Amino acid sequence: MNILSSLQIINIDAICLHEDHEPQRLDKTCKAIQQSGELCHPPIAMQMRDGRYLILDGAHRTGALQRMGCKRIPVQLARAEDIMLEAWDHIVSAGPWLSALKQQGHVYEDVRSHDQPAIVTITADDGSTYCLAPRNDKAHWWQRLEIWHQIVDSYSRHGAVTRVAQNSSAALEKGQVRVTSPVYTMAELEEVVLAGKTMPAGVTRFKINGRLLNLKIPLHWLADPMFDSEEWESYLSRRASSIRLYSESIYLCEV
Protein backbone atom coordinates (compact mmCIF):
# COMPACT_ATOMS: atom_id res chain seq x y z
CA MET A 1 0.00 0.00 0.00
CA ASN A 2 1.25 3.49 -0.92
CA ILE A 3 1.07 5.37 2.38
CA LEU A 4 0.54 8.66 0.54
CA SER A 5 -2.79 7.33 -0.73
CA SER A 6 -4.09 7.86 2.82
CA LEU A 7 -3.50 11.62 2.43
CA GLN A 8 -6.61 13.47 1.31
CA ILE A 9 -7.55 17.12 0.77
CA ILE A 10 -10.87 17.83 2.51
CA ASN A 11 -13.06 20.94 2.46
CA ILE A 12 -12.67 22.49 5.88
CA ASP A 13 -16.48 22.69 6.28
CA ALA A 14 -16.57 18.87 6.29
CA ILE A 15 -14.22 18.68 9.29
CA CYS A 16 -15.34 18.34 12.90
CA LEU A 17 -13.42 18.23 16.16
CA HIS A 18 -13.99 15.91 19.09
CA GLU A 19 -12.38 18.03 21.81
CA ASP A 20 -12.10 21.62 22.98
CA HIS A 21 -8.93 23.58 22.29
CA GLU A 22 -6.44 25.08 24.70
CA PRO A 23 -6.30 28.83 23.87
CA GLN A 24 -2.57 29.32 24.52
CA ARG A 25 -1.66 26.20 22.57
CA LEU A 26 -3.84 27.28 19.64
CA ASP A 27 -2.17 30.71 19.55
CA LYS A 28 1.27 29.08 19.56
CA THR A 29 0.35 26.61 16.80
CA CYS A 30 -1.17 29.32 14.63
CA LYS A 31 1.93 31.48 14.95
CA ALA A 32 4.27 28.60 14.09
CA ILE A 33 2.35 27.66 10.93
CA GLN A 34 2.14 31.28 9.79
CA GLN A 35 5.87 31.81 10.29
CA SER A 36 6.88 28.66 8.40
CA GLY A 37 4.25 29.01 5.68
CA GLU A 38 3.86 25.23 5.78
CA LEU A 39 1.87 22.51 7.48
CA CYS A 40 4.48 19.94 8.45
CA HIS A 41 2.30 17.22 9.98
CA PRO A 42 -1.18 16.59 8.55
CA PRO A 43 -3.90 15.91 11.14
CA ILE A 44 -5.18 12.35 11.47
CA ALA A 45 -8.86 11.84 10.66
CA MET A 46 -11.50 9.18 10.16
CA GLN A 47 -14.76 9.44 8.25
CA MET A 48 -17.90 9.17 10.36
CA ARG A 49 -21.14 7.57 9.26
CA ASP A 50 -22.70 10.97 8.53
CA GLY A 51 -19.99 11.64 5.93
CA ARG A 52 -18.02 14.22 7.90
CA TYR A 53 -14.39 13.77 8.90
CA LEU A 54 -13.49 13.59 12.57
CA ILE A 55 -10.06 14.90 13.56
CA LEU A 56 -8.46 12.35 15.87
CA ASP A 57 -5.08 13.99 16.28
CA GLY A 58 -4.27 17.57 15.31
CA ALA A 59 -7.11 19.62 16.79
CA HIS A 60 -4.90 22.68 17.27
CA ARG A 61 -3.41 22.44 13.76
CA THR A 62 -6.95 22.22 12.42
CA GLY A 63 -8.08 25.14 14.55
CA ALA A 64 -5.11 27.20 13.35
CA LEU A 65 -6.00 26.57 9.69
CA GLN A 66 -9.61 27.48 10.40
CA ARG A 67 -8.53 30.70 12.13
CA MET A 68 -6.33 31.60 9.14
CA GLY A 69 -9.26 31.23 6.77
CA CYS A 70 -8.06 28.14 4.92
CA LYS A 71 -10.61 26.59 2.57
CA ARG A 72 -9.35 23.04 2.82
CA ILE A 73 -7.18 20.85 4.98
CA PRO A 74 -4.91 17.87 4.22
CA VAL A 75 -5.66 14.92 6.48
CA GLN A 76 -4.29 11.44 6.79
CA LEU A 77 -7.20 9.01 6.86
CA ALA A 78 -6.68 6.29 9.45
CA ARG A 79 -8.07 2.78 9.34
CA ALA A 80 -9.91 1.49 12.39
CA GLU A 81 -7.39 -1.32 12.86
CA ASP A 82 -4.53 1.21 13.05
CA ILE A 83 -6.10 3.31 15.84
CA MET A 84 -5.78 2.81 19.59
CA LEU A 85 -7.71 5.26 21.76
CA GLU A 86 -6.33 5.98 25.22
CA ALA A 87 -6.47 8.95 27.60
CA TRP A 88 -3.98 11.44 28.97
CA ASP A 89 -3.48 11.98 32.67
CA HIS A 90 -3.10 15.63 33.69
CA ILE A 91 -0.61 16.75 36.33
CA VAL A 92 -1.65 20.09 37.82
CA SER A 93 -1.19 22.10 40.99
CA ALA A 94 -3.79 21.63 43.67
CA GLY A 95 -5.51 24.84 44.69
CA PRO A 96 -8.82 26.64 45.19
CA TRP A 97 -10.28 24.93 42.11
CA LEU A 98 -10.17 21.58 43.88
CA SER A 99 -11.83 22.86 47.04
CA ALA A 100 -14.54 24.54 44.97
CA LEU A 101 -15.34 21.31 43.13
CA LYS A 102 -15.67 19.40 46.38
CA GLN A 103 -18.14 21.98 47.71
CA GLN A 104 -20.45 21.89 44.69
CA GLY A 105 -23.69 20.01 45.08
CA HIS A 106 -23.37 17.70 42.08
CA VAL A 107 -19.77 16.60 42.60
CA TYR A 108 -18.51 14.79 45.66
CA GLU A 109 -15.42 13.12 47.03
CA ASP A 110 -15.70 9.39 47.54
CA VAL A 111 -13.11 6.62 47.85
CA ARG A 112 -15.76 3.90 48.10
CA SER A 113 -17.49 1.99 45.35
CA HIS A 114 -20.19 3.91 43.54
CA ASP A 115 -23.13 2.99 41.30
CA GLN A 116 -21.66 5.13 38.53
CA PRO A 117 -17.95 5.22 37.62
CA ALA A 118 -15.96 8.27 38.60
CA ILE A 119 -15.81 11.15 36.15
CA VAL A 120 -12.16 11.58 37.14
CA THR A 121 -9.88 10.05 39.75
CA ILE A 122 -7.43 12.33 41.55
CA THR A 123 -4.17 11.20 43.13
CA ALA A 124 -2.44 13.59 45.54
CA ASP A 125 1.30 13.92 46.14
CA ASP A 126 0.98 11.89 49.36
CA GLY A 127 -0.47 8.93 47.43
CA SER A 128 -4.07 9.37 48.59
CA THR A 129 -6.66 8.81 45.88
CA TYR A 130 -10.28 9.85 45.56
CA CYS A 131 -12.82 10.40 42.84
CA LEU A 132 -15.14 13.11 41.61
CA ALA A 133 -18.52 11.71 40.57
CA PRO A 134 -22.08 13.07 40.26
CA ARG A 135 -24.26 12.79 43.33
CA ASN A 136 -27.12 11.79 41.06
CA ASP A 137 -26.68 8.10 40.30
CA LYS A 138 -29.04 8.47 37.34
CA ALA A 139 -27.08 11.27 35.64
CA HIS A 140 -27.23 10.97 31.85
CA TRP A 141 -24.00 10.65 29.85
CA TRP A 142 -24.26 14.23 28.59
CA GLN A 143 -24.63 15.50 32.18
CA ARG A 144 -21.49 13.60 33.16
CA LEU A 145 -19.74 15.10 30.13
CA GLU A 146 -20.73 18.63 31.19
CA ILE A 147 -19.34 18.03 34.70
CA TRP A 148 -16.13 16.64 33.17
CA HIS A 149 -15.77 19.84 31.12
CA GLN A 150 -16.24 21.86 34.29
CA ILE A 151 -13.55 19.91 36.12
CA VAL A 152 -10.96 20.24 33.33
CA ASP A 153 -11.80 23.92 32.73
CA SER A 154 -11.41 24.70 36.44
CA TYR A 155 -7.82 23.46 36.75
CA SER A 156 -6.81 24.57 33.23
CA ARG A 157 -7.62 28.15 34.21
CA HIS A 158 -5.70 27.74 37.46
CA GLY A 159 -2.28 26.93 35.96
CA ALA A 160 -0.16 24.83 33.64
CA VAL A 161 -1.33 21.35 32.67
CA THR A 162 1.22 18.60 31.99
CA ARG A 163 0.01 15.60 29.99
CA VAL A 164 1.40 12.16 30.81
CA ALA A 165 0.48 8.70 29.57
CA GLN A 166 -1.78 6.82 31.96
CA ASN A 167 0.70 3.95 32.30
CA SER A 168 3.61 6.27 33.10
CA SER A 169 5.11 6.61 36.57
CA ALA A 170 5.70 10.38 36.57
CA ALA A 171 6.46 11.57 40.10
CA LEU A 172 4.36 14.32 41.62
CA GLU A 173 6.00 17.36 43.19
CA LYS A 174 4.68 18.70 46.47
CA GLY A 175 1.33 20.41 45.95
CA GLN A 176 0.56 18.63 42.68
CA VAL A 177 -2.22 16.19 41.86
CA ARG A 178 -2.67 13.75 39.00
CA VAL A 179 -6.06 13.71 37.31
CA THR A 180 -6.99 10.43 35.59
CA SER A 181 -9.82 10.50 33.05
CA PRO A 182 -11.91 7.64 31.67
CA VAL A 183 -11.03 5.97 28.38
CA TYR A 184 -13.75 6.09 25.72
CA THR A 185 -14.17 3.66 22.84
CA MET A 186 -14.15 4.92 19.24
CA ALA A 187 -17.89 4.18 19.02
CA GLU A 188 -18.59 6.23 22.17
CA LEU A 189 -16.45 9.08 20.88
CA GLU A 190 -18.33 9.15 17.59
CA GLU A 191 -21.66 9.24 19.43
CA VAL A 192 -20.47 12.26 21.43
CA VAL A 193 -19.58 14.13 18.23
CA LEU A 194 -22.76 13.14 16.38
CA ALA A 195 -24.72 14.51 19.34
CA GLY A 196 -23.03 17.88 18.84
CA LYS A 197 -20.88 17.57 21.95
CA THR A 198 -17.10 17.66 22.50
CA MET A 199 -14.66 16.15 24.94
CA PRO A 200 -12.67 18.39 27.32
CA ALA A 201 -9.38 19.71 25.99
CA GLY A 202 -6.37 17.42 26.06
CA VAL A 203 -7.92 14.23 27.44
CA THR A 204 -7.94 11.90 24.44
CA ARG A 205 -4.76 10.19 23.33
CA PHE A 206 -4.53 8.37 20.01
CA LYS A 207 -1.82 5.90 19.10
CA ILE A 208 -1.82 5.44 15.34
CA ASN A 209 0.36 3.18 13.19
CA GLY A 210 1.83 4.60 9.99
CA ARG A 211 1.74 8.31 10.77
CA LEU A 212 2.96 10.68 8.04
CA LEU A 213 5.29 13.41 9.31
CA ASN A 214 7.28 16.34 7.95
CA LEU A 215 5.42 16.69 4.65
CA LYS A 216 5.75 20.50 4.60
CA ILE A 217 2.55 21.22 2.69
CA PRO A 218 2.52 24.85 1.44
CA LEU A 219 0.01 26.97 3.30
CA HIS A 220 -1.02 28.99 0.24
CA TRP A 221 -2.52 25.85 -1.34
CA LEU A 222 -4.90 25.53 1.57
CA ALA A 223 -5.99 29.17 1.54
CA ASP A 224 -6.39 29.55 -2.26
CA PRO A 225 -10.11 29.37 -3.26
CA MET A 226 -9.05 27.52 -6.43
CA PHE A 227 -7.45 24.14 -5.84
CA ASP A 228 -5.06 22.84 -8.51
CA SER A 229 -5.40 19.04 -8.36
CA GLU A 230 -2.60 18.53 -10.90
CA GLU A 231 -0.19 20.53 -8.74
CA TRP A 232 -1.24 18.44 -5.73
CA GLU A 233 -0.62 15.18 -7.59
CA SER A 234 2.79 16.47 -8.69
CA TYR A 235 3.59 17.33 -5.07
CA LEU A 236 2.64 13.81 -3.91
CA SER A 237 4.76 12.28 -6.65
CA ARG A 238 7.81 14.23 -5.50
CA ARG A 239 7.18 13.35 -1.86
CA ALA A 240 6.82 9.62 -2.65
CA SER A 241 10.53 9.35 -3.43
CA SER A 242 11.52 10.72 -0.01
CA ILE A 243 9.21 8.73 2.28
CA ARG A 244 11.09 6.54 4.75
CA LEU A 245 9.68 3.95 7.15
CA TYR A 246 11.65 3.52 10.38
CA SER A 247 10.90 0.26 12.16
CA GLU A 248 13.25 0.96 15.05
CA SER A 249 12.55 3.34 17.92
CA ILE A 250 13.12 7.00 17.05
CA TYR A 251 13.74 9.91 19.42
CA LEU A 252 12.69 13.21 17.83
CA CYS A 253 13.73 16.53 19.36
CA GLU A 254 10.78 18.84 18.61
CA VAL A 255 12.23 22.36 18.83
C-alpha distances in angstroms, 200 versus 7, 22, 33, 59, 178? 27, 10, 24, 12, 16
Lowest mean pLDDT among 28-32, 138-142, 145-149, 152-156: 138-142
Residue 115 has pLDDT above 70, yes or no: no
Residue 109 has pLDDT above 80, yes or no: no
What does the pLDDT average to over 34-38?
93
Give every CB contact of residue 246 below 8 A, 6+ residues apart in sequence.
Answer: none
Report the C-alpha gap between 44 and 223 in whole angstroms: 20
**pLDDT attached to residue 253:** 63
Q: Are 39 and 49 in contact (CB under 8 A)?
A: no
More confident residue, 116 or 95: 95
Q: pLDDT of 163-176, one tens digit each?
A: 999 988 888 999 99
Residue 2 has pLDDT above 80, yes or no: no
Helix (H, G, I), strand (E, B) or coil at 110: strand
Q: Are 202 and 145 in contact (CB under 8 A)?
A: no
Report the C-alpha gap between 155 and 97 in whole angstroms: 6
* Amino acid at residue number 121: T
**pLDDT attached to residue 22:** 81
Residue 242 has pLDDT above 90, yes or no: no
Report the C-alpha gap between 114 and 91 in whole angstroms: 25
CA 142 to chain CA mean position, Å = 19
